[in-house]
Structure 1
Amino acid sequence: MDKDLDTMTREQLIAEVKTLRAGIRTHRDTSGHDLCWYHPHLWALLPEQVNHVPLVPDWPQFMRGCVKYRESLDAQCPQAPRSQLEFGE
């Protein structure tokens, strides 16, 4: 799958790493309501182009997943500041 890396020069590999790091940093620096969004731009950093259509849970299951995700933030990042901002503010 990653055979393209075998043919890259050192300079090309460095450029690729920098591109991937920029994508990871962009995602890492996401905050607030933006944490919950679909991020196909990250997948676009991969060399293989696929027409990935995600399987989307129905609303009740999706909302339970959102609650679990938010609970995981409390457990994994309890020191993070909290916001009262509504979506779109």
Structure 2
Amino acid sequence: MDEDLDTLSRDELIAEVRRLRAGIREHRDSTGHDLCWHHPALWGLLPEKSDPQPDVPDWPQFLRGCIRYRQSLDRQLPDAPRTNRPFTPDDTDR
């Protein structure tokens, strides 16, 4: 699957690593409501071009998953800053 790497020069490999690191950092640095969004740009960094469509849970199951995710943040990041910034329609431009 990663045979394309075998043909890249050292400089091309370094450029690829930098590109991938930038994408990972962008995803890592998501915060607030951005944590909830679908991030196709992250897997768009891969050389194989596909458009995987996720299975989207029905609302009750989806909201239970959101609650569990938020609970996991309480457990894993108990000292992280909290915000009460409301969700705004501009947040949907992801």
Unaligned runs of 5+ in 1: none
Offset at residue 43 of structure 1 (A): 1.0
Unaligned runs of 5+ in 2: none
Is 1:54 matched with 2:54? yes
Higher relative contact order (CA 8 A, sep 6+): 2
Deviations 1:15-49 (A, max 9, x none): 00000000011011110001000000111100000
Deviations 1:32-83 (A, max 9, x none): 0010000001111000001211110100000000000001101111110000
**2:64: which partner in 1?**
64
SS at match of 1:83: coil
Counterpart Cα distance in 2 of 1:75 and 1:8: 42
Is 1:10 matched with 2:10? yes
